Structure formats: structure tokens, C-alpha cells
């Protein structure tokens, strides 16, 4: 019989992040639960199954394989030697310690935990992050679901602000750390989980800023950098550095903010990714403006524009960078101009940002509307400032930092 490669099994190994060696070890572990003794499977057996040299393994291997992938042997790409060989015996004992991939997805008792009732739990339920694996084998498909949930959290933030996302993010981080401790996975999945945790720490940091808790935000941004380094993900590292520079700037440590941003730009991946480079250059411009470096600020703003011009509009956009549009670049440029005392240029750039912002980004729209009113007041344009904030509805906005700024504007208008 001609040898035919078992592409089905090969694809399953890739999906569940198994190497030949780790699958062999898993077969041996499951065999111990079925037969009462550890199996003798080795990586050479797996290679022979995939190459097609062995098209129907022995029962002591097939039964564990069926349980690991929760599908019959023929659905694993194996071909029976004869009619009777396809009828495998019933396993004498079902293991309790190794849930199958199917159980990982569907067993609500052994594999899922739920967030207790609270305001944050309502958001968590709506975002679909209330179930996290606590055992079994994790695949890249599990990680993909994690990132999809994080994307929905990012969209929630851009729409109405941080609010309960602090507790939602920290709860999800705890669950993912539980998955790291209680599940089995390959190196690729492990790094991807650390990248997801870094993203959640970053989200928690931004939510803290919105809630007015700067100290806690700094701790979250530092934790995001640590997880990004564990993930060996240059983009996540650049994001964490960028957030730490913003943290330093908000604390009034402007020279430190400049140094951090420059360190982030030293990352080759950051320089090569035009979106990340554009964001870092824009934030560098603000830091340099705050330190009085007019030439450096102008050069950094130009660098942001050049980097943004290199963006491929057909390339996928990371959800955390979805906010970086021409509107946001105009808004960031306005902050730099304001720091340099160029209020007229800052006002024009802020107005441009508002013209370009989509209606769905309510948080950012409110942020720049308040900024526009502040700039108008700084130039003595009280009537324009009053018109800018008239009718501004923040009832659905969950950002204390923005609403506090709006209150200060209205207080000045009524003084």
C-alpha cells in the first residue's frame, strides 16, 4: 500500500500546539488512566503516524489518542487494517485528570468558573469573558478566543471609557494565570497567553487613569511590561513602554517620559511597525514639548506623520491601536502645541481631530471636546468655549478623569 501522509493528525498537532515529543508524553499520561500503567509511546511513534508509515496504531495508542482529541480514530486520519480492526474495545477506565479538547470547550462543571454577581460581572458577562479553562490542553484556538474577548473590552473602553474594566481586567488576569498553572500547553501557547495578560494589564492601567487612580495605573503598566517580556513579543513590549511614558508624563516627570519613549523607539520592531512608530513619535513630541524642546517636538511630530504615511491600509490593525487614526494624530499634535504655548495651533488641531473622529469613539470625542473648550478659555474665548460644551452629554461616559476636566471648564464659565 502506498504511504500517505496523515495530514489530519498533523493539523491537530498544530492546533493544540503539540510537538511529537509532547504528544507522546500526553499519550503515555492518558494510557496510565485507561490501563493502569504508563504507556511506552515515544516521539518516533508520532513521526511514523504522521508520515503514514503506520496507518493504524496499536490499541494502546489509539484509545489515548481518541480521548485526547475526543474523536474516533478514523477521524484522526487513521486507516483501519481490516473491518474488525476498526472496532476498538471500550476503555476500561476513564481518566479524571486529563479533560479532552471537547471537554475543555463544553464541560461547564470541571472546566469553567464564573464571576460572581456585581457591576463588573455584568460587563464581563456581556463581553463573554466569564469562562476560562482551569484544566486540560490549551490550543491556539483557546488563545484566539481570549484575544477576541480582549478586543471587545477595548471597544468598550473606546466607546464609554474605563469604569468597571479595572476589576474585569484583573479578574480575567487571575483566571488566565490559573489557566497557566492548571492547564498543559506548548511554548507557543504559553507566550501567547503572556501576551494576552500583558494586554489586559495595559487595559487595566488605562481604566485606572479614567478612574483617577494614577498610582494603581503605574503598577499595572509595569506589570504589562513584565508580561510582554515573558511573551517575547516586541509589539507588546513597545506598547508597555509607551504606556509607561504616558504614566511618567501625567505624573509630571517629563524628562523621564522622553527617555522611556526613546527607549521604546530603540526597539527595532517598534521602528518597523508604522502604527507603533507613529504613536511613539507623537508621544515623544508631547514629552519634548513639555521639556521646552521645540525643535525636538517639531521633529518628532514630523516623524509621526512620516510613520503614519507608511501604514498599509489593507493590513490588520491590532485592537489596542484601533484608536490611532488621523484624528488621534491631530489630537496628540494639539497636546504638543498646547505644551509649547501655541494655543491657536492647538485649537485648530483639536477641531480637526473632532471633525475626523467617528461617532462610535464617544470617549475620545468627549476628551477632545473638553480639550477644545480648555484651549478656547485659555485664549479668552468664553462664548466659544460655552458653545463647545453646551449639550455635551457625559451621562453614559464612564471616565472620571474626563468628567472632572469638564466640571472644571463649566466652573470657570460660571465664575
Query: pLDDT tens across 104-154, in order?
Result: 444 433 332 333 334 455 555 555 566 777 778 888 888 888 888 888 777
What share of the chain has pLDDT > 70, as a percent? 85
pTM of the model: 0.67
CATH 1.25.40.10 fits 233-324, yes or no: yes
Q: What mean pLDDT, rounded, does the chain reach?
A: 82
CA dist 355 → 5, 269, 349, 359, 367 (Å): 58, 32, 10, 10, 13
Most confident of 90-94, 151-155, 250-254, 359-363: 250-254
Please identify, in words, the CATH class of the domain defined by 1-77: mainly alpha
Q: At what angle do helices 362-378 and 326-339 cross, to 10 degrees?
A: 30
What pLDDT is attached to residue 106?
42
C-alpha span between 2 and 139 (Å, rounded): 32
- Residue 195 contacts residue 227 (beta carbons within 8 Å): yes
Tens-digit pLDDT profile for residues 19-74: 898 889 888 888 887 887 888 899 999 999 999 888 889 888 888 888 888 788 88
> Per-residue pLDDT for 84 more than 80?
no
Highest mean pLDDT among 73-87, 117-131, 285-299, 396-410: 285-299
What residues pair up with 137 in beta bridges, in sequence order? 184
> Looking at residues 280-284, what average pLDDT do you find?
94
What mean pLDDT is predicted for residues 300-323? 89
pLDDT tens string 146-190: 888 888 777 767 666 666 677 788 888 888 888 888 888 888 889
pLDDT: which is higher, 60 or 100: 60
Closest CA to 202 of 68, 56, 319: 319
CB distance 203 to 243 below 8 Å: no
Is 394 within 8 Å of 163 (Cβ atoms)? Answer: no
Q: How confident is the model at residue 211 (pLDDT cuts 50, 70, 90)?
A: confident
pLDDT in the model for residue 108: 35
The CA-atom distances, in angstroms, between 20 and each of 9, 24, 142, 235 are 11, 6, 21, 30
Residue 145's pLDDT is what?
A: 84
The shares of helix, strand and coil residues in the chain, as percent rounded to the nearest 5, are: 70, 0, 30
Between residues 394 and 378, the one the model is more confident about = 378
DSSP 8-state secondary structure symbol assigned to residue 273: S
Interval 246-268: pLDDT, tens: 889 888 899 999 999 998 888 77
Write out the DSSP string of 360-395: T-HHHHHHHHHHHHHHHHHTT-HHHHHHHHTT---T
Amino acid at each position: 500500500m502506498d504511504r500517505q501522509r496523515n495530514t489530519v493528525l498533523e493539523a491537530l498537532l498544530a492546533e493544540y500546539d503539540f510537538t511529537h515529543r509532547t504528544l507522546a508524553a500526553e499519550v503515555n499520561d492518558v494510557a496510565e488512566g485507561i490501563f493502569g500503567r504508563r504507556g511506552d509511546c515515544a516521539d518516533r511513534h508520532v513521526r511514523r503516524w504522521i508520515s503514514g508509515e503506520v496507518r493504524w496504531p496499536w490499541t494502546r495508542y489509539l484509545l489515548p489518542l481518541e480521548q485526547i482529541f475526543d474523536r474516533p480514530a478514523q477521524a484522526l486520519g487513521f486507516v483501519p487494517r481490516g473491518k474488525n480492526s476498526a472496532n476498538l474495545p471500550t476503555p476500561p477506565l476513564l481518566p479524571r485528570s486529563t479533560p479532552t479538547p471537547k471537554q475543555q470547550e463544553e464541560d461547564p462543571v470541571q472546566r469553567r468558573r464564573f464571576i460572581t454577581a456585581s457591576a463588573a460581572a455584568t460587563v464581563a458577562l456581556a463581553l463573554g469573558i466569564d469562562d476560562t479553562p482551569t484544566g486540560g490542553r490549551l490550543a491556539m484556538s483557546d488563545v484566539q478566543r481570549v484575544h477576541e474577548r480582549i478586543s471587545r473590552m477595548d471597544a468598550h473602553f473606546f466607546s464609554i471609557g474605563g469604569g468597571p474594566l479595572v476589576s474585569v481586567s484583573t479578574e480575567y488576569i487571575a483566571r488566565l494565570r490559573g489557566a497557566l498553572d492548571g492547564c498543559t500547553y506548548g511554548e507557543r501557547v504559553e507566550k501567547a497567553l503572556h501576551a494576552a495578560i500583558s494586554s489586559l494589564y495595559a487595559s487595566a492601567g488605562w481604566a485606572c487613569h479614567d478612574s483617577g487612580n494614577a498610582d494603581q495605573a503605574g503598577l499595572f503598566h509595569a506589570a504589562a511590561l513584565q508580561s510582554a517580556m515573558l511573551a517575547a513579543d516586541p509589539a507588546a513590549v513597545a506598547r508597555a513602554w509607551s504606556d509607561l511614558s504616558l504614566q511618567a508624563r501625567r505624573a509630571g516627570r517629563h524628562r523621564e517620559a522622553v527617555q522611556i519613549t526613546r527607549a521604546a523607539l530603540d526597539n527595532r520592531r517598534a521602528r518597523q511597525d508604522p502604527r507603533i512608530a507613529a504613536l511613539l513619535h507623537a508621544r515623544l513630541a508631547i514629552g519634548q514639548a513639555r521639556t521646552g524642546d521645540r525643535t525636538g517636538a517639531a521633529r518628532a511630530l514630523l516623524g509621526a506623520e512620516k510613520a503614519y504615511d507608511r501604514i498599509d491600509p489593507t493590513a490588520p490593525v491590532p485592537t489596542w491601536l484601533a484608536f490611532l487614526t488621523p484624528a488621534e494624530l491631530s489630537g496628540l499634535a494639539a497636546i504638543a502645541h498646547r505644551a509649547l504655548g501655541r494655543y491657536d495651533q492647538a485649537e485648530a488641531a483639536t477641531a480637526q481631530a473632532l471633525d475626523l473622529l467617528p461617532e462610535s469613539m464617544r470617549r475620545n470625542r468627549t476628551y477632545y471636546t473638553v480639550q477644545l473648550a480648555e484651549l478656547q478659555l485659555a485664549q479668552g474665548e468664553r462664548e466659544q468655549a460655552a458653545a463647545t460644551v453646551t449639550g455635551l452629554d457625559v451621562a453614559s461616559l464612564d471616565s472620571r478623569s474626563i468628567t472632572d476636566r469638564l466640571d472644571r471648564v463649566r466652573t470657570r464659565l460660571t465664575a
